[in-house]
Chain A
Amino acid sequence: MPRSKSPKPLPAASLHLVLALLDGENHGYALMRRVEELSAGAVRMGPGTLYGTLNRLLADGLITETTDWVAREDNERRRYYQLTADGETVARNELARLRTLVRRLSQFQPRLGSAGL
């Protein structure tokens, strides 16, 4: 059966970051914690992986830096990021893809449903 051409799925680190940014703008450390929380502790990024991935997402136009957009009471001079319109579309598409994956798994392996999935 021919497979439909769909956008390439995001690598795991990028996927977790765009999903974490669906909540709104945030800074690096909070994003790292949010990713850890969303993945139930399974994904723990180090500083290099986090900022390397943010750098790629910036270059791809999926996120933008919002540090200077509003006045902040942040003595640590953190940098804030948020999804662009394209980034939000990609994040929602990824979310839909993951939902489809879980639904299909539940259909083929019904016992997954009873395991809380």
Chain B
Amino acid sequence: MTASAAHVSLYRHMTRLYPPSFRHDFGADLVLLFAKQIEDERPARVWARTFRDLAVSVPTQRLEAHMKRPSSHLLTVVSAVVAGSAAVLALMLGTGPAMPVFLVVALLTGAIAVWSWQATRPVRADDSAGGSWWKILLAGPALAVLTFVAMAIPWPTAIDLGDNAYWLIVIAFATSLTLAATGLLLGIVAVVDHRRTRAVGTSPA
């Protein structure tokens, strides 16, 4: 077996990660396209792009297979929430043996959230205004404050959530942390974009 055939064979196995319907419709095309890339480019470069592609497109196609027509941002939201929850759990576990696992999950799903957001965001006419990242950034602390208020006020005895209250609080804090982190990330991207645009504008022709 030649080196390129081995690469293609490995990728063919990896296409099994896609849902059967997608693989039935496009499996042969996926492999053919990968083979053409391997012929034309250095394999290391092709694999770097392919791993990133698999990390975003496999969960997207899995979601599409289970939901009739999910929002194109669903993967971004789901992976951001998972990243935030994993980060909170890693913090809560401190030095426990599971902490590195949650940290790795948080980093991987955070990367998927950023990549899928980059892939699905439209090229908008109001991008130059910096978008609305600050709303997401403010929503995080706002949700945290609301959660603190909800914890502080005396609830009627008729409302007893039991152990569910603990998990509701954890989810609320994880979501607020995720919103704040996402807002911060989008803000950094907006500022970098803005600076790059200004740099293009001020560079000599």
Contact = CB atoms under 8 A, between A and B. Distances in A.
B9 interface: no
B122 A55 contact: no
Contacts, number: 104
Contacts of B37: 29, 47
Taking residues whose C-beta sits less than 8 angstroms from the other chain, chain A's interface range is 35 or more
A97 interface: yes
B128 A46 contact: no
A101 interface: yes
A63 interface: no
A76 to B, nearest CB: 6
Nearest to A78: B32
A57 interface: no
Contacts of B125: 9, 97, 100-101, 104
A40 interface: no
Contacts of B120: 11-13
Interface residues of B, number: 42
Given A47-B29, A97-B125, 20 more contacts: A11-B119, A12-B118, A29-B32, A29-B33, A46-B57, A47-B31, A47-B33, A47-B34, A47-B50, A48-B30, A48-B53, A48-B58, A48-B60, A49-B53, A49-B119, A50-B33, A51-B33, A52-B64, A55-B22, A79-B29
Interface of B: 18, 22, 25-26, 28-34, 36-37, 49-50, 52-54, 56-58, 60-61, 64, 69, 72, 118-125, 128, 197-198, 200-203, 205
Interface of A: 8-13, 15, 28-29, 32, 44-52, 54-55, 59, 76-79, 97-98, 100-101, 104-105, 108-109, 111-112, 114-117
